[in-house]
Amino acid sequence: MYQDLLVIDADAHKIENPLVIRDYIEPQYRDRVGLIVDNLGDQRMRVIDFNPATGKNDLERLYPQPQGLGKGGFRNLHPETTLGAMFNQVRLEHMDREGVDIQVVYGTWNLSYSSILDKDMAIALCRAYNNYMAEDCRGYGNRIKPIGVLPMQDVNEAVKEMHRCVNELGMIGVAIAPNIAIPHPKAPDAFPEIRTCKTLSHPDFEPILQAAVDLNVSIGIHGGPGSYMVGGIADHMETFVLSHIFVQRNQQQMALARMVFDGVFERFPTLRVGFLEGGCGWLPDLAHAFHEHWEKRIRDFDPKTPYRPALMEFTKLMIQERGVHNNSNIISQAKNLFDLMWNKQHDPAQIDDSSLYEHYDLRHRDPMEYFGRGQIFTSFESDDPAPAYLPLAMGEMGKHLTCFSGDYGHWDGVLKDCVKSAADVADYDRDHLSLLLNGNALALYGDRLRQSMPEHLSTAALVGTRG
Amino acid sequence: MSYFQEAKAHFVASHQNPINQALHHLTNALAIAAIVYLFYDWRITLVCLVLTQIFALGGHAFFEKNEPAFVKYPGITILASLSWSFEHWFGLRQLWHYFRHKASA
């Protein structure tokens, strides 16, 4: 509790114990994964993956990616939280000390599973991870809530695994990567080094979204650096500092934009999605861009009657600008230019092509509504003042869009005074602070979290929550 | 840009059809003739003035298919029109450009 307010850490982490999780992996895959220490002394998970070039399982991949553009982290172990992220007894001591009542726990190694190319191994690793986490977090006063991971490489298996996570393992939600790497159409043979991606909004993943709605669980979109997904600007950065500055927010921004404009929130109006570990300060800017593009390029956009000025007006302006000397030439120049720009042979009124109607099925609804109706959430970390900006930029709805996250277990997380610094960094009123510390997380994770909370917490005053 | 320059730019932009241009050069020549004949025979002046309106308005109605320039710039359009004709030697310069272009093509 913080000043009698319930505190939910909406995005904490597990550092998987490599010795223990190994026991959960089916024997046929066990020898293809393992912990190594690289030549710079950093721990990496080594995976022998399917190699598209040879057609065999002989592609060695290290997670996180140790070098190159979009590289992952090094010297990543947090001096205060690493042991707690591995051993829950320490975790609970830290939670008690800092006043964190509940942690929703995403993993670390699993954040890269979506880029594993061997589909069967991905399925096996997800099952192993979920079994491991369910057992690892069981007990502890119901205060540690693991999130399941899904093998996005096989949609049917992902749906099955989601049902298993929720119904059998008692998990309150599932994690999905912000994107899944696929071959780039211009360089298919260079995959996975050169890649593009598809996001959760792709029609292939529709059954996963439907299952989340049916099960009434939220989806936590969670990416990571050096995980061989598409990372936006991070993919063009050769230092971890620069890569990490961009990777989380770029991945979340892309996932959010695609989900909005591919119509996910239109088709699933009760789906709840958390875009995690990317902060929230960018949200007003992106939301404004959504609104502006929707207004100008979708709602009011008419590709069959594009702007076409009068030739006379065009010529007059050209004469005014270029002078009236030798104006028999300027008239023909103006006419030639006019014909080039507004070609008579390609009269837009006569051209009807579906590519001209981008996202036309969304023209009836401003994307801002999705934010207002509680489908989209982000997270913010200790000492980040950005939650204070959201209501300024987006109005009252801005108070309902972001959840406190300590990022417990990761190098950039904060342990000491993590709740206090989140609360003190801006002048929040009590209702707003309650939303940030618990109300928004409860709205994101929904009844599965509410109903599985320790009894003494479920009766705590939840000031300002919208139920 | 002065009011005259604006009016002239508008005049030039309003007269892009070659037949309409020829008719307006003719109109301007007739206007000058009307002034000259005022000192000799007012009836010829009257005929010239009637013909100027027929050629000018006809050029816009049948060839250019737009609004005459004097609607937007009344009065000063006459000066812009005459200035334009003098610059183009009452159409001869445009013809010269046309044939020179043809020869070099």
| Chain B residues closer than 8 Å to A328 by CB | 88, 93-94, 97
Give the pLDDT confidence score for residue A344 in this predicted structure.
72
Asked if B12 lies within 8 A of A329 by C-beta distance, the reply is: no
Instruction: Measure the CA–CA gap between B68 and B71, rounded to whole angstroms.
Output: 6
Domain ranges of chain B: 3-104
State the count of interchain CB pairs (< 8 A) between A and B.
41
Q: How far apart are the first and last CA of chain A?
A: 19
Instruction: Measure the CA–CA gap between B24 and B63, rounded to whole angstroms.
Output: 12
Give the pLDDT confidence score for residue A253 in this predicted structure.
98
Closest residue in B to A331 (Cα) is B16
Check: complex ipTM more than 0.85 = no
CA-wise closest residue to A382 among A56, A100, A170, A107: A100
DSSP string, A120-169: HHHHHHHHHHHHHHHHHHS-GGG-EEE-EE--TTSHHHHHHHHHIIIIIT
| Chain A residues closer than 8 Å to B9 by CB | 316, 319-320, 324
Q: What is the dihedral of CA A295, A398, A216, A102, to 10 degrees?
A: 160
Helix axes A327-341, A311-322, angle to 10 degrees: 130
Asked if A312 lies within 8 A of B14 by C-beta distance, the reply is: yes
| Chain B residues closer than 8 Å to A316 by CB | 9-10, 12-14
Q: How far is B61 from chain A (nearest CA, A)?
A: 15
Q: Kindly state whether A320 is in contact with chain B, defined as any CB-CB distance less than 8 angstroms.
A: yes
A311, A319, A321, A337: which to substitute to probe chain B, counting the most B Cβ within 10 Å? A319
Asked if A319 lies within 8 A of B6 by C-beta distance, the reply is: no
B12, B21, B98: which to substitute to probe chain A, counting the most A Cβ within 10 Å? B12
Q: Kindly state whether A426 is in contact with chain B, defined as any CB-CB distance less than 8 angstroms.
A: no
Asked if B10 lies within 8 A of A328 by C-beta distance, the reply is: no
CA-wise closest residue to B11 among B23, B22, B21, B26: B21
Q: Kindly state whether A302 is in contact with chain B, defined as any CB-CB distance less than 8 angstroms.
A: no
pLDDT at B72 over 70: yes
A322, A327, A339: which to substitute to probe chain B, counting the most B Cβ within 10 Å? A327
Give the pLDDT confidence score for residue B94 in this predicted structure.
86
Asked if B97 lies within 8 A of A329 by C-beta distance, the reply is: yes
Q: Kindly state whether A319 is in contact with chain B, defined as any CB-CB distance less than 8 angstroms.
A: yes
Q: Kindly state whether A328 is in contact with chain B, defined as any CB-CB distance less than 8 angstroms.
A: yes
Give the pLDDT confidence score for residue A422 in this predicted structure.
97
Instruction: Measure the CA–CA gap between A255 and A394, rounded to whole angstroms.
Output: 20
Q: Phi then psi for A2, rounded to 5 degrees?
A: -125, 115
Q: How far is B104 from chain A (nearest CA, A)?
A: 15
Among B9, B14, B97, whose Cβ lies nearest the Cβ of A324? Answer: B9
| Chain B residues closer than 8 Å to A315 by CB | 12-13, 16
* pLDDT tens across the length of chain A (467 residues): 999 999 999 999 999 998 899 999 999 999 999 999 999 999 999 999 999 999 999 999 999 999 999 999 999 999 999 999 999 999 999 999 999 999 999 999 999 999 999 999 999 999 999 999 999 999 999 999 999 999 999 999 999 999 999 999 999 999 999 999 999 999 999 999 999 999 999 999 999 999 999 999 999 999 999 999 999 999 999 999 999 999 999 999 999 999 999 999 999 999 999 999 999 999 999 999 999 999 999 999 999 888 889 888 999 898 888 876 656 678 888 888 898 888 877 888 888 899 999 999 999 999 999 999 999 999 999 989 999 999 999 999 999 999 999 999 999 999 999 999 999 999 999 999 999 999 999 999 999 999 999 988 876 655 445 44
Q: How far is B13 from chain A (nearest CA, A)?
A: 5
| Chain B residues closer than 8 Å to A327 by CB | 12, 84, 87
List, as ranges, residues 13-72 from A with C-beta within 8 Å of B: none
Contacts made by residues A15-18, CB under 8 angstroms, sequence distance 24+ = A15/A82, A15/A85, A15/A86, A15/A108, A15/A409, A16/A86, A16/A107, A16/A108, A16/A109, A16/A110, A16/A129, A16/A132, A17/A86, A17/A87, A18/A45
| Chain B residues closer than 8 Å to A312 by CB | 13-14, 16, 66
Among B9, B10, B94, whose Cβ lies nearest the Cβ of A328? Answer: B94
Bond before A391 cis per omega within 30 degrees: no
| Chain B residues closer than 8 Å to A314 by CB | 13
Q: How far is A338 from chain B (nearest CA, A)?
A: 13
| Chain B residues closer than 8 Å to A313 by CB | 13
Structure tokens at A239: 């230092």
Asked if B16 lies within 8 A of A311 by C-beta distance, the reply is: yes
Instruction: Measure the CA–CA gap between A78 and A103, rounded to whole angstroms.
Output: 18
CA-wise closest residue to A358 among A246, A257, A244, A224: A257
Instruction: Measure the CA–CA gap between A179 and A189, rounded to whole angstroms.
Output: 20
Asked if B13 lies within 8 A of A328 by C-beta distance, the reply is: no
